[in-house]
Structure 1
Amino acid sequence: MPATIRTAKSGPLRMRDFRMLLAGAAAGQLGAHITLVALPLVAVLELDATAFEVGLLTAAETAAFLVIGLPAGAWVDRMRKLPLMVRADLVRAVAMASVPAAAVAGVLTMAQLYVVALVTGVATVFFDVAHQSFLPQLLPRDHLVRGNGALETVRSSAQVTGPGIGGGLVQLLGAHLAVVADAIGYLLSALFLWGIRHREPRPVPVPGSSLRADIGEGLRFVLRQPLLRVIAVATGLGNFFTAVLMATQTVYLVRVLDLAPGTVGLVLSAAAVGGLLGAVGAGALAARVGQGRIIWLSVLVTGPFALLWPLSEQVGGGALFALGSAVVFFGAVVYNVAQVSFRQGLCPPKLLGRMNATLRFLMWGTLPLGALAGGALADGFGARTALLCCAAGFLTVPLPLVLSPLRRTRDLPTGPEDPQPAAPGTDPRTGTDHQSDTDRRTESAPLG
C-alpha cells in the first residue's frame, strides 16, 4: 500500500517519519523559546544594553529574511530538504554554544551577540523554507491541516514551557548559561531529523535555468495568485508590529514593570498558553467556520486585546500583559494553521521552496524593520509608548481582511486546479483579477 494512502487512513501521528519530524520540532522549539527569554536578558542584565541595542539584536535575528529570503527559496528547490535542515540545526547549535563559552571566558560583547543572531537567522531561513517544503512530501494534502496543527501544538507547547524554564534558568545559573539549552535543543533536533527514513530524490536541474529565473518564477506564482498576494501584504503588516513587540517587551517587563527574570519567563509562558489552545482548536474551528472565514474572524476578534499591553503599567501589571498576549497569540496560531496549510496544498511541489521563500521575504522581511522601529521608539519615548504604537498597529491588520472577498468566502482552494473562491472575473491559473483581492493576516504573529 502506498505510504500516502496508508497515512491518509491512519492519520499523520501514526506515521513514524512524521513523529520524528515532530520530535525534532519539539527539541528545537523548546531550546529556541528558552533563549527567547535568555538572550535578551543577557543583553539587558549582563551587558547593560539600551532599548535600541535590544531592538538591534532582534533585527539581527530576522534580517536574513530580508537579505537572502528570495534566493534561499531557489537554492532550497535545488537541494534535498532533509539534509539541509540537519546542517542548519548544527550551525545554529554551534553559534548558540559560543555565547556561554565567551561569557565564561569573560569576553562576551554585544558585537558577538549580533553576529550570533545574524548567523542563526541565516540558518533559520534555510531551515524554515526547507521544513515547510518537506512536510507535503510526508503527508497527503488532506492531512496537511492536521499535520500543521500538530506542529503548531508542539511549537505552542514549547512557548508555554520554554520561557518559564528560561526565566528560572536565568535566575539560577545566569542568562548566558541558560543559552546552553538552545544549543542542546538544536543538536537533538538534528538527531531526530537524521532518523527520518524517507529519502527524497535529488531535484533534477532544469536545463537553461538560472538563479534569477528561478526567483522570478517564484515571485510570479505568488504575485499572480490573489490569495497569496494578499497574504503577503497583511502578514507583512502584522509581522512589522509583532517585531515592535518582540524588541520592546523584555525592556518593558524588566525596567517598567520591574519584574524578576523568573516572572518575565512566566509572563511569556502564560502568553503562549493562548497559542497552544489555538493550535489544538484550529482544525475544529476551520472545519466548523470555514478555512476562509476563520482567518479574518481570528484577527478581528483577538487583535484588540493588544491594547492590554500598554495598559498593564496602570493596572494589572504582568498578569494583564500576559492576558493580552494569550488572546492575541490564540488568534495568530489559528490563522497560521489555516493559511500555511492552504499554501502547501495550493502550490505545485516543484515551486514549494520558492513559494515559501518568496512569502517569507515579503512577510518576514518587515521583521527587522519593525524591530529597529520598536527599539528606536522605546529608546526615544519609552517602552510603554512603543507598546502603545504596537497595539494601535495590530488594530489596523484586520482592515484589509474585512474589506476583501475573503469575508464572503467559507472555504479556500486546495490545489492549483481549484477555482478562486468568491472572486468573479479571476483567472484561476494566472491570478489576473478584475475585482479586489482577498486578504490575510500574520504568518507568525508570535514569531515561531
Structure 2
Amino acid sequence: MRRDSLFFHADFRRLWAGDTASQLGMFVGVTAIPLLAAVTLAATPFEMGLLTMAETLGFLVLGLPAGVWVDRMRKRPLMLAADVVRGVLLLSIPLAWWAGVLTMAQVLAVVLFVGFATVFFDVSYQAYLPALVGREKLLEGNAKLQGVQSSAQIAGPSLAGVLVQFLGAASTVLVTGLGYLTSALCLWRIRTVETLPERSKRDRLVPQMLEGLRFIVADRPLRAIVACTATSNLFSGVVQAVEVLYLTRTAGLKPAEVGGLLAASGVGGIAAALCAGPIIRKIGQARSIWLVPVLLWPGGILVLFAGPDWRIALAGLGMAAFGFGVILYNIAQVSYRQAITPDRLLGRMNASVRFIVWGALPLGGLLGGGLGEWLGLTAALCIGTAGPVAGALWVICSPLRRMRDLPTGAEIAVPAP
C-alpha cells in the first residue's frame, strides 16, 4: 500500500469511521421506517408517498439558501450539529413506541426534520472533503466513501430486515439514531483546522444562490449530468413510495427477505467502489457517465419479478446491476463536480445540484403515492423502474457522448459573480 494513500490520513480515517456509522444507521432506517409504516402502522400507498416526500423535502425547501450559509461557515461544526439533531429525533420513535403513543403523524414529522438536518450535512460534507484531503485525492476519497455507502447498503437493510422480524420495526430505528450520534463523535475528534471563509459585508443571499445555479448552467457537461440525475431521482422517488408495499403485499416477502433484497444493490455498489478507478480510467470519465446508465440501470426493472422463491434471486441480480451502475456513475460525476468548482463556490454548487436532483425525490414520492392509489402498486413500480433509464437520454444527447474524458478545472469558464 502506498504511503500517500488516504489510509494513512488520520483525519480522513475519522471522517471515514463516522461515515461508516452514519451510513449503516441510515440504511437500517431506510428499511426499518418504511416497514414500520407499511406493516406496523398499516400505511396506505398515499401515506407511503408522503413518507418518501418528507425524507427529501428539505432539499427542495432549504437546498439553495443552505449552500450560501455553508459557504460562509466552517463545515465540520455544521456536520456535527446535524448528526446530533438527527440522532436525537430518531431516538424519539422507539421511545414513543415503547410508551404506546407512536403515530404515523410523528413518524412523518421526525422524517421531515431529519431531512432538513440532512440538507446541511450533505452540502457541508461534499464541500468539506476537498479541504480535508486536497483535490488531487478526490477520486480516491470519493471511492472509499462510496465503498462505505455500498457496504452499509448491504449490511443495513439485511440487518434491519432481521431486527424488524424479531424485535419490531420501531425498536430497530434505535440503530439509526445511535449511528448518527457515533458519527458526531468521530467528527468531533477531527483535528484539521478549517479556515473560516472570507465574507464581504455586501454579500447577499439571493445573488449568491443564483451564482451557484449560474455555475451549473454555464457548464454543458455539468448541466446534462444534473438533468440526468434529477430525472432518475424523480422516478426513484416513485419506486421508494411503493417498493416496500409491493414487496410485502404483492410479492409476499417477509421483512427479512425484503431487507436481503434491498441489500442486493449494495453488493453491486461495493463492487463498483472497489474497481471504480481502473474502470473510469480505462473507458474515460465522460464515457462512464453516459455508458454506465445505458448498460446497467435497466437492471432495476427486474425487481418486478420478486417472489418468495427463485424469483427473489433474479430480482436481486437486477438490483445488484443497478447498484453497480449508480455508484460508478456517482463516483465519476461527483469527482468531476468537485474538481472543476472553485473553493468559494463549492457549498453553493453542491447545494444547487442537491436542490435540483434531490428536490425531484419528494415530487417523485408524492407522484408514486398517487400512482399506487390510482393505478395499483404493480403499475406504479413499472413506471418508477423504467424512468431512470429514460433519464440517461440527457447525457447521451449531450457533448459527453463525443468525449472520452471531461475537461479539467483550468478549461472551465467560471461565470462572474
User: TM-score per shorter chain, which class?
Assistant: over 0.9
Q: Residue 275 of structure 2 corresponds to which residue in structure 1?
A: 281
Partners of 2:308 and 2:12 lie apart in 1 by 47
Cα 1:430–1:216, aligned 2, differ >3 Å: closer, same or farther? closer
Q: Does the 8 Å CA contact 2:283/2:404 hold for their aligned counterparts? A: yes
Range 21-30 or range 267-276, more displaced: 267-276
Q: Does 1:255 align with 2:249?
A: yes
Q: Residue 60 of structure 1 corresponds to which residue in structure 2?
A: 54
Q: 1:411 aligns with which of 396, 405, 409?
A: 405
Q: Does the 8 Å CA contact 2:299/2:321 hold for their aligned counterparts? A: yes
**Paired AA for residue 321 in structure 1:** A
Gaps of 5+ in 1: 1-7, 420-427, 432-448
Length-normalised TM-score, structure 2: 0.96
Q: Does the 8 Å CA contact 1:292/1:409 hold for their aligned counterparts? A: yes
Q: Residue 436 of structure 1 corresponds to which residue in structure 2?
A: none
**Paired AA for residue 347 in structure 2:** G
Residue 219 of structure 1, CA deviation = 1.5
Deviation track 1:30-82 (CA, whole Å, cap 9, x = no partner) reads: 00101111101111111111111111101100000111100010011111100
Q: 1:319 aligns with which of 302, 310, 313?
A: 313
Q: Does the 8 Å CA contact 1:60/1:114 hold for their aligned counterparts? A: yes
Q: 2:261 aligns with which of 253, 260, 267?
A: 267
Q: Residue 205 of structure 1 corresponds to which residue in structure 2?
A: 199
Q: Does 1:196 align with 2:184?
A: no
**Paired AA for residue 90 in structure 2:** M
Q: Percent sequence identity over matched residues?
A: 47
| Matched residue SS, 2:252 | coil
Partners of 2:16 and 2:106 lie apart in 1 by 31
Q: Does the 8 Å CA contact 1:306/1:394 hold for their aligned counterparts? A: no
Q: 2:8 aligns with which of 5, 14, 23?
A: 14
Range 200-209 or range 294-303, more displaced: 200-209
Residue 9 of structure 1, CA deviation = 6.1
Q: Does 1:120 align with 2:150?
A: no
- Across the two proteins, how many residue pairs are aligned to each other? 415
More helix by share: 2
Q: Does the 8 Å CA contact 1:253/1:318 hold for their aligned counterparts? A: no
| Matched residue SS, 2:411 | coil
Q: Does 1:345 align with 2:339?
A: yes
**Paired AA for residue 66 in structure 1:** L
Q: Residue 141 of structure 2 corresponds to which residue in structure 1?
A: 147
Residue 309 of structure 1, CA deviation = 2.1
Range 40-49 or range 21-30, more displaced: 40-49
Residue 110 of structure 1, CA deviation = 0.8
Q: Residue 22 of structure 2 corresponds to which residue in structure 1?
A: 28
Q: Does the 8 Å CA contact 1:225/1:430 hold for their aligned counterparts? A: no
Partners of 1:28 and 1:429 lie apart in 2 by 34
| Matched residue SS, 1:179 | helix
Partners of 1:241 and 1:161 lie apart in 2 by 25
Residue 405 of structure 1, CA deviation = 1.6
**Paired AA for residue 404 in structure 2:** R
Deviation track 1:71-125 (CA, whole Å, cap 9, x = no partner) reads: 0100111111001000000000011000001111111111101110111000000
Q: Does 1:333 align with 2:324?
A: no
Q: 1:356 aligns with which of 350, 354, 364?
A: 350
Partners of 1:211 and 1:30 lie apart in 2 by 35
